[in-house]
Amino acid sequence: MTEFQQIEYNDQVVAVVVGDQAIIPNGMPTADHQTVKAMCLYALEVMAGTQPGPYTTERALEYAEQAAAERSP
């Protein structure tokens, strides 16, 4: 069975993760896009078992914030 996860950001569904793919529409501001990409990566890692589950928006945002902090000089 293929796993499916909606990705919510600012109280809206902004992406979906299906199986091993993230689907993110174009047109999102760059900063939001980076956050959503990191949230999708977190969902993929939860599905793969490399991050503890279950997926929650709060955990995904923490993951995204940590990733952004690691990218900043």
pLDDT tens profile 22-63: 999 998 888 899 999 999 999 999 999 999 999 999 999 999
Q: How far apart are CA 5 and CA 7, in angstroms?
A: 6
Whether 16 shows a pLDDT value over 90: the answer reads yes
Q: What is the DSSP letter of 19?
A: T
DSSP E strands, 1-73: 4-9, 12-18, 21-23
In this predicted structure, what is the pLDDT of residue 73?
A: 67
| Residue 28, both tokens | 């999102």
CB-based contact 16:7 (threshold 8 Å): yes
pTM given for the model: 0.92
Whether 14 shows a pLDDT value over 90: the answer reads yes
Which secondary structure element, helix H or strand E, spans residue 65, and what is its range?
Answer: helix 57-71
In this predicted structure, what is the pLDDT of residue 70?
A: 87
Whether 2 shows a pLDDT value over 90: the answer reads no
